[in-house]
Amino acid sequence: MKNIRVILFTFFVTLTLTSCFDDNDDNIISASTLDINDFVWKAMNIVYLYKPEVPDLANGRFNTDEAYNNYLNDFNSPEALFESLKFNPTTVDRFSRIYDNYFDLQNQQSGITLNNGIEFILYRVPGDETQVFGAISLVLNNSVADDLGLERGQIFRAVDGINLTQSNYINLLYDQDSYTLNFADYNDNNTTQSGDDTISLNGQNADLTKVVYTENPVHISKVINVNNENIGYLMYNGFIQNFDSSLNAAFAQFQAAGVTELVLDLRYNGGGSVQTAAYLGSMITGQFTGEIYSKLFYNENLSSNNRNYLFTNSIQNVGSINSLNLSKVYVLTTQRRTASASELVINSLSAYIDVVVIGENTVGKTQASRTIYDSPDFSFDNVNINHTYALQPLIANSTNVNDLLVPSNGLQPDIEISERPHTLGALGDVNEPLLAAAISEITVSDRSFNLPSSNIFFRPIDAPIPFLEQEMYID
């Protein structure tokens, strides 16, 4: 059948992001659901990592064009078809996505979002299964929230004067572009147990509105001197290729200060560019240039695309890499946010140097994806101008040089510490619990930093993961 014949192709490494819509406005005819479903099936039939495990993606699945069209017409949306083609979506493929507007996706991959500048973690109120409160975990630099003076660790109990609950928090916090946060005080009543803790509104409020915002993922870069030893601290929140020069500049700062130890804070880093992950590994080390950093393995039809990422001493279009030549690194992690390319860095470096993981078990995403467009070769070149759907399916498995995958249940910490909503601490401060633990390990003899006296675990609510978090993509 000509219309579903499988044509194998070689992926382009670089996508042209120049819109082809400019001169064609008069000729655009909206694509039908059938047309978009046809794109979804053909793309998944060729690129999907788990194609062999999905019977509906088999090359001989349809005997006639009519049978194929009838199959596609059974799905009333491209989303419905795409979800039906994912392999074990609750356990194996938790990460493939379909987007109805690829311009939003492209912006996100460049660090551009509609954002009010805060990230937060939601919890159940102690002793209550329905009431909810939140803790600001991150205030983005030069954002709306930053301009308002909001800080990490602030507790909020209500939005727009309405107490947060299990049934309303999505509508109040995620479905609105503007809202008022109503802050509260957390009282642990001087006990180490959470059962008697109380949360009370304190009359303080903040009006937040989402605006177009570009995030530099190099959130904090500083040198901490402890016992006459210079320790580099880098909080890095996303592997965004547009900011490779900023990442390299942070390591120039460390290099100039004679940093001999590094704490890499990836606790809120859900991933991003595989190539940038290789650059970061090369900055931390420097002594392994030319050796294999990580590997990618595609499905059986695309095995010719299997490739190795190497340690390197330069960044394309930036210049020489600033390397620290370290033989040990300390990485801070959290359970729901340290994922994908962040896990790749830990997994890849651990084959060469000591990697001490401090925090929580990571997400457990070893697969890579890439943006698939409706075009002859699935790149952005000659894209179908009649719709803006794109896919971000899992297309390859990432391993380290020893062919080890990141386990599906995540990477376990060497030192387990969970963030607690009422004791988050300021990021980059030597007494912030996770950083304090790293400094304590580095200095060994000096245990004076304020580590938690107990590690009561506050289980966050399974709130929606931000757009494109837990992603590792091939540029």
pLDDT at 109: 84
pLDDT at 463: 67
pLDDT at 438: 97
For the chain, domains (ranges, CATH) are: 1-111+215-475 (3.90.226.10), 112-214 (2.30.42.10)
As averages over each run of 10 residues, the pLDDT of the chain (475 residues) reads 39 31 53 97 97 96 97 98 96 93 89 93 92 96 98 98 96 96 92 82 98 96 95 97 97 98 97 95 98 96 94 96 98 94 97 98 93 95 96 96 95 95 95 96 65 55 59 67
Residue listed under structure tokens 């245990």: 447
Residue listed under structure tokens 């039939």: 45
Q: Report the distance separating Cα 420 and Cα 233, nearest Å.
A: 21
> Quick one: which of 90, 48, 57, 94 has its CA closest to 393?
48
> Quick one: which of 219, 175, 176, 183 has its CA closest to 200?
183
- Check the CA dihedral 457-463-468-470 and report its sign: positive
Within 13 Å and on the Cβ side, how many CA atoms surround 452? Answer: 21
pLDDT at 462: 73
pLDDT at 110: 85
398's tokens: 């990432």
